[in-house]
Amino acid sequence: MKKTGISLLFIILSLSLFAQDVYQAERASWLEKAEQAKPALMETICKPLYLVRSVQDPDAFQGWRTEKSEEMDALYNISFKEKKEVIADFGKHITGYYSFFLKTTYRTQDAPLRIKFTFAEVPAELNTPFDPYPGTLSRAWLQDEIVTITQVDQEITIPRRLSFRYVKIELLGYSPDFDFRFADMTCKAVSSAQDIQVPLAATASEEIKEINRVSLETLKECMQTVYEDGPKRDMRLWIGDLYLESLANTYSFKNHDLTKRCLYLLAGLASTDGRLHANVFENPEPHPQYESHCLDYSLLYNVTLLEYLKATGDKETAEDLWPVVTNQVKEALGFVNDKYMFDPYKKEGFLWLFFDWRDGLDRNVAIQGLMVYALNSSYELAKMLGKEKEVKEWPEIAKKMAKAARSELYDSKQGVFVSGPDNQVSYLSQVWMILSGVASPAEGKKALNTVFWMPDAVYPGAPYAYHYLIEAMIKAGMNDQAKEYLVTYWGGMVKKGADTFWEVYDPNNEYLSPYNFFPVNSYCHAWSCTPVYFIQKYPEIFQQ
Amino acid sequence: MKKTGISLLFIILSLSLFAQDVYQAERASWLEKAEQAKPALMETICKPLYLVRSVQDPDAFQGWRTEKSEEMDALYNISFKEKKEVIADFGKHITGYYSFFLKTTYRTQDAPLRIKFTFAEVPAELNTPFDPYPGTLSRAWLQDEIVTITQVDQEITIPRRLSFRYVKIELLGYSPDFDFRFADMTCKAVSSAQDIQVPLAATASEEIKEINRVSLETLKECMQTVYEDGPKRDMRLWIGDLYLESLANTYSFKNHDLTKRCLYLLAGLASTDGRLHANVFENPEPHPQYESHCLDYSLLYNVTLLEYLKATGDKETAEDLWPVVTNQVKEALGFVNDKYMFDPYKKEGFLWLFFDWRDGLDRNVAIQGLMVYALNSSYELAKMLGKEKEVKEWPEIAKKMAKAARSELYDSKQGVFVSGPDNQVSYLSQVWMILSGVASPAEGKKALNTVFWMPDAVYPGAPYAYHYLIEAMIKAGMNDQAKEYLVTYWGGMVKKGADTFWEVYDPNNEYLSPYNFFPVNSYCHAWSCTPVYFIQKYPEIFQQ
């Protein structure tokens, strides 16, 4: 049952119940504009290439690889009561709707069939028992579906949208009195990204070409009616993913309407007090994740809007959403103390800072840096909109925060920025000091080269953080090293067989999972898609 | 995808490919008339009465019973993440479409849910592990469905039609970040039988009232767009079930159009050589079970048509279907030898005789008796249609077969009819000698009273055979014993908690299953519905 438009009214009323809604005047039109910019999904019918078998291999990613066993005809021409179990390989990562067609081959269907389908992004998902389930996220994200087929000789579609390359099919129930075979299977792949070629210089290495290709695939798969974080798991719009996806989109598919839609959607679903929600859902009606506020993500919204304006020149949207920009800055400034340092305890309540999936990461330096960066970006946006007088204090605050950071956080003896009560040294602290300009390029280079050789330095846990590391290295003039890192890290995934880039990748631990069960990790994740951005934006670094 | 009318053409063409179709002229119009007589299904929204717990109890049917544990509110008012597993009791057997409504109670749904539903006709189905599955029929008949729920706060319907009283619900996957509860559940029950009261005399015993009620429930549940044999398992039209259901229908719901539809459907789907198929399917287009010919069922078709004509006076239908009647007799006569005895080896190929689910039953006497009975019934039909001249030889053949049966099969010393090379003594042999008139009422009474006391006599295995036993006892003037048997046998099911009568019931073995796994037995089965026929047709026997 589809809900009516009453829901929007309900959201607005609920949001307004206890406090004045700072976006009362704009909210409805923002959501309307988000709806208008909703892209049509392009549909492609995909078919499996061949059957594969799983091979246990200690050298393969997560211990498993597949190898071609037979042509599809070896399934389509044979009784599935004989075959009983197969794995079909679609040859690439796809997101969409899986259908199959069973055909009676002997006598008449006299009973339903029971068939289990397990859809997998990576081979180990096919070979790791899901139950008993040790993960911390819902077991239901795993893509195994048991289907009762009451009527063969017709197309059957599994209702949930799936994200996979492989499908394992197991026969669980059948009648002795008739026989059948698979006659066809397809996946109607969906994406709001059009197939394009992103040209590379002739000098680009094979590795870079592959990274560029996989990066495009990743972005394409995540581009649905919003920028999703992962098409297999989460399937929703997060600000952090939006930022990186929109950067990559600018250098590839150029589907700027999708960025616009997401910016408006987040604005329309912000809290009545002005704060953005870190993530929102589209169905059954657009709505935010309950009280999900992530300060670094909120600040990155402003940066995203700036980059969108630069890429499109769409001042109307930027002006429309200007109140959101000022409110995010206002919220963040509430945490700044007299010494112009970010103080997480200055306000009551829970403060969520993300920056990376890495247990134990101290985020004090990173947020100080991001605030400087976001203040400057937001001021740049103000100037482009002719609104700099409204916010004339921002550059000064940024400058004072930068100065404070330098005096409070820089360990000049070691040449690195240290974070928190234990003076933690992490890659990300250096990264954000570089991106904010607190550290000069030379200082940044030195800091990074120092932490790279410190065995206890906290290194990034996920591609999301590696993105900022590469960006910082480029800003610090470490072009060769930036390329090396990109090729080593993302190219490492390619070498391990990635069809799309993974949510989590630690070269030292292929089983790392923030959710205590690696098969529930997303193996096609938006925040990992940025190599195409680097490769295209900096051809002199990456394509030579 | 729904197929087009091309399928019918295809069936006709296929059937005609290798032989002249004896029904070529009539087939299409028969199928058209079957379609026209298709009843609308009446829909009733049912709700569960309360929650129950399973109790292991050696005195309960199959070792399990349920007892009320809580009101439904104990489910509806509480987080299902707390509850995790419940059994809801709908209070009666229903056939239809199960829907449920989950409601978010805390924060926002941020992940799909995985919930297992197990639908059960009897308590032991809830408590007997289905896997590893030892049964000989498809595992998929068992009604356990694992559902991935991507969107709560809306009604969700399990697609397959279900047949159950109990539903066990188990939570298999959920998110730590939101909570939900069941807000409602319903079953849209479907039947082509209207709710009616079938009045009983004030003198009828409580037992008879209960048997009458359960009998009506059984028939009602099986009355769909055909007379189904079992709404949980098989779900199709069999001639044997049709015969008994139409008898019961005449004394209860009087939905004669359904009988008409089934008669036409079977005729329209008969073999090109004239033989009926024992069972047919309605979807996706009407079609027969592959080469499924059961001679006793084919003969009972003629009896069914006779009874239909008597009940309705619908000569047009009887005349229409007359060629089917003559062809079934013709087919059966092909097995009769010079001595007017039925000889299963007279024709080549596989001959299927059913009569009962009972391993080792010798069916020679039964088929001899049924042939006499069916010849006489078919001749009675001929006379009602003024066609007796066409088939004037039938009474004479019946007489000769009866005479031969008497001299070949009667053991006058023991006073019983014996069957097959080992002179097997079974209840059913006596039954069919009585029904055919080979045995006089007095001889029949003696024969039955003799086998009742023979410890090795083969006794009926299923209610289908018990029906003919009761009918034979009445014909043999054993009225008190007929009532006693009916009350003991069907009343035995009622005492053991039957909401509807079972496919298989052996008072000595509650776990008996023709399919090697008792949970896959049907616990609402058409051929068990005839007590209402006896009780209403013979009030002087059953209602006094």
| DSSP reduced 3-state for A471 | helix
B219, B252 contact by CB (below 8 A): yes
Name every chain A residue with its beta carbon within 8 A of the beta carbon of B160.
Answer: 112, 148, 150
Question: What is the amino acid identity at position B443?
Answer: E
Question: What is the rounded CA–CA span in Å between residue A277 and residue A279?
Answer: 5
Res A286: pLDDT:
97
Best B139, B178, B293, B352 member to test A by mutation, with max A CBs in 10 Å, is B139
A449 to chain B, minimum CA–CA distance in Å? 40
- Sequence-distant (≥ 6) Cβ neighbours of residue B65 within 8 angstroms: B54, B55, B57, B123, B497
Residue B237 contacts A, CB cutoff 8 Å: no
Question: What is the rounded CA–CA span in Å between residue A532 and residue A214?
Answer: 9
Residue B40 contacts A, CB cutoff 8 Å: no
Number of C-beta neighbours around residue A2 at 10 A: 8
A335 to chain B, minimum CA–CA distance in Å? 26
pLDDT band at A19; cut points 50, 70, 90: low
CA-based nearest residue to B504, from B45, B22, B111, B62: B62
The most distant pair of C-alpha atoms in chain B lies apart, rounded to whole Å, by 84
B139, B126 contact by CB (below 8 A): no
Question: What is the amino acid identity at position A12?
Answer: I
Name every chain A residue with its beta carbon within 8 A of the beta carbon of B150.
Answer: 160-161
Q: What angle do CA B452, B455, B461 make, to 5 degrees?
A: 70
A48 to chain B, minimum CA–CA distance in Å? 22
CB contact (8 A) between residue B138 and residue A111: yes
Res B349: pLDDT:
84
The end-to-end CA distance of chain A, in Å, is 55
CB contact (8 A) between residue B289 and residue A113: no
A262-321 residues touching B, CB cutoff 8 A: 281, 283-284, 287-291
CB contact (8 A) between residue B138 and residue A1: no
SS3 for B264-300 is: HHHHHCCCCCCCCCCEEECCCCCEECCCCCCHHHHHH
Res B194: pLDDT:
87
CB contact (8 A) between residue A155 and residue B3: no
B158 → chain A, closest CA residue: A148
Name every chain B residue with its beta carbon within 8 A of the beta carbon of A111.
Answer: 137-138, 140-141
ipTM over 0.90: yes
CB contact (8 A) between residue A150 and residue B172: no
CB contact (8 A) between residue A3 and residue B140: no
CA distances from B107 to A5, B131, B246, B407 (A): 21, 37, 55, 84
Bridge-based pairing state of the strands A113-120 and B179-191: unpaired
- Written as six digits, the tokens of B29 are 């119009």
| DSSP reduced 3-state for A334 | coil
| DSSP reduced 3-state for B105 | strand
Which residues are bridge partners to A120 per DSSP? Answer: A166
Question: What is the rounded CA–CA span in Å between residue B499 and residue B436?
Answer: 34
Q: What is the CA radius of gyration of chain B?
A: 25
Instruction: Enter the pTM of the model.
Output: 0.94
Res A194: pLDDT:
87
Could you tell me where the DSSP H helices lie in B385-426?
Answer: 394-409
Closest Cβ–Cβ partner in A2, A136, A160 for B150: A160
Best B2, B99, B110 member to test A by mutation, with max A CBs in 10 Å, is B110
Counting residues of chain A whose pLDDT is more than 70, the rounded percentage is 97
Closest Cβ–Cβ partner in A136, A148, A234 for B176: A136
Question: What is the rounded CA–CA span in Å between residue B53 and residue B55?
Answer: 6
A512, A506 contact by CB (below 8 A): yes
Name every chain A residue with its beta carbon within 8 A of the beta carbon of B107.
Answer: 289-291
Question: What is the amino acid identity at position B479?
Answer: N
Distance of CA B88 to the CA centre of its chain: 27
Angle between helix axes B6-16 and B27-36 (nearest 10 degrees) is 140
CB contact (8 A) between residue B160 and residue A148: yes
Res A405: pLDDT:
98
pLDDT tens sequence for chain B (544 residues): 334 444 555 555 555 455 699 999 999 999 999 999 999 999 999 999 999 999 999 999 999 999 999 999 999 999 999 999 999 999 999 999 999 999 999 999 999 999 999 999 999 999 999 999 999 999 999 999 999 999 999 999 999 999 999 999 999 999 999 999 999 999 999 999 988 888 899 999 999 999 999 999 999 999 999 999 999 999 999 999 999 999 999 999 999 999 999 999 999 999 999 999 999 999 999 999 999 999 999 999 999 999 999 999 999 999 999 999 999 999 999 999 999 999 999 998 889 999 998 889 999 999 999 999 999 999 999 999 999 999 999 999 999 999 999 999 999 999 999 999 999 999 999 999 999 999 999 999 999 999 999 999 999 989 999 999 999 999 999 999 999 999 999 999 999 999 999 999 999 999 999 999 999 999 999 999 999 999 999 999 999 9
Phi, psi of B243 (to 5 degrees): -60, -50
- Find the mean pLDDT for residues A115-120: 98
DSSP-derived secondary structure letter, A458: B
Question: What is the amino acid identity at position A523?
Answer: Y
The most distant pair of C-alpha atoms in chain A lies apart, rounded to whole Å, by 84
pLDDT digits (tens, 9 = 90+) for A30-50: 999 999 999 999 999 999 999
- Written as six digits, the tokens of A11 are 């959201």
Q: Average pLDDT, whole number, for chain A?
A: 95
- Sequence-distant (≥ 6) Cβ neighbours of residue A263 within 8 angstroms: A242, A301, A304, A305, A308, A317, A321
pLDDT band at A366; cut points 50, 70, 90: very high
pLDDT digits (tens, 9 = 90+) for A238-280: 999 999 999 999 999 999 999 999 999 999 999 999 999 999 9
Res B197: pLDDT:
81
The end-to-end CA distance of chain B, in Å, is 55
Question: What is the rounded CA–CA span in Å between residue A109 and residue A103?
Answer: 10
Closest Cβ–Cβ partner in A111, A178, A281 for B140: A111
Could you tell me where the DSSP H helices lie in B198-321?
Answer: 206-222, 239-250, 256-268, 295-312, 315-320
Residue B73 contacts A, CB cutoff 8 Å: no
A101 → chain B, closest CA residue: B1
3-state helix, strand, coil in chain A (%, to 5): 40, 20, 40
Question: What is the amino acid identity at position A287?
Answer: H
Res A1: pLDDT:
34
CB contact (8 A) between residue B154 and residue A1: yes
Residue A20 contacts B, CB cutoff 8 Å: no
A111 → chain B, closest CA residue: B138
Question: What is the amino acid identity at position B171?
Answer: L
Residue A6 has pLDDT above 50, yes or no: no
B141 → chain A, closest CA residue: A112
- Written as six digits, the tokens of A143 are 């893509």
Question: What is the rounded CA–CA span in Å between residue A436 and residue A417?
Answer: 13
A113 → chain B, closest CA residue: B140
CB contact (8 A) between residue A112 and residue B160: yes
Residue A14 has pLDDT above 90, yes or no: no
CB contact (8 A) between residue A112 and residue B141: yes
B85-124 residues touching A, CB cutoff 8 A: 107-114
Residue B174 contacts A, CB cutoff 8 Å: yes
Res B13: pLDDT:
52
Beta carbon pairs, A and B, within 8 Å: 117
Assess whether the previous peptide bond of B132 is cis (omega < 30° from 0): yes
A419-478 residues touching B, CB cutoff 8 A: none
- Written as six digits, the tokens of A431 are 């990264």
- Written as six digits, the tokens of A424 are 């933690």
CB contact (8 A) between residue B107 and residue A290: yes
Question: What is the rounded CA–CA span in Å between residue A367 and residue A373?
Answer: 10
A130 to chain B, minimum CA–CA distance in Å? 11
A139 → chain B, closest CA residue: B173
Helix (H) or strand (E) holding B509: none
DSSP-derived secondary structure letter, B22: T
Name every chain A residue with its beta carbon within 8 A of the beta carbon of B136.
Answer: 176
3-state helix, strand, coil in chain B (%, to 5): 40, 20, 40
A66, A218 contact by CB (below 8 A): no
CB contact (8 A) between residue A138 and residue B291: no
Number of C-beta neighbours around residue B120 at 10 A: 27
Which residues are bridge partners to A180 per DSSP? Answer: A104
Name every chain A residue with its beta carbon within 8 A of the beta carbon of B284.
Answer: 151, 153-154
Residue A350 contacts B, CB cutoff 8 Å: no
Question: What is the rounded CA–CA span in Å between residue B470 and residue A131?
Answer: 53
A134 → chain B, closest CA residue: B173
CB contact (8 A) between residue A174 and residue B140: yes
Residue A13 has pLDDT above 80, yes or no: no
Residue A132 contacts B, CB cutoff 8 Å: no
A160 → chain B, closest CA residue: B150
pLDDT band at A12; cut points 50, 70, 90: low
Which residues are bridge partners to A287 per DSSP? Answer: A281
A355 to chain B, minimum CA–CA distance in Å? 21
- Sequence-distant (≥ 6) Cβ neighbours of residue A278 within 8 angstroms: A238, A239, A240, A289, A292, A293, A294, A297, A298, A352, A354
- Find the mean pLDDT for residues A142-171: 97
Question: What is the amino acid identity at position B405?
Answer: A
- Written as six digits, the tokens of A468 are 């900022």
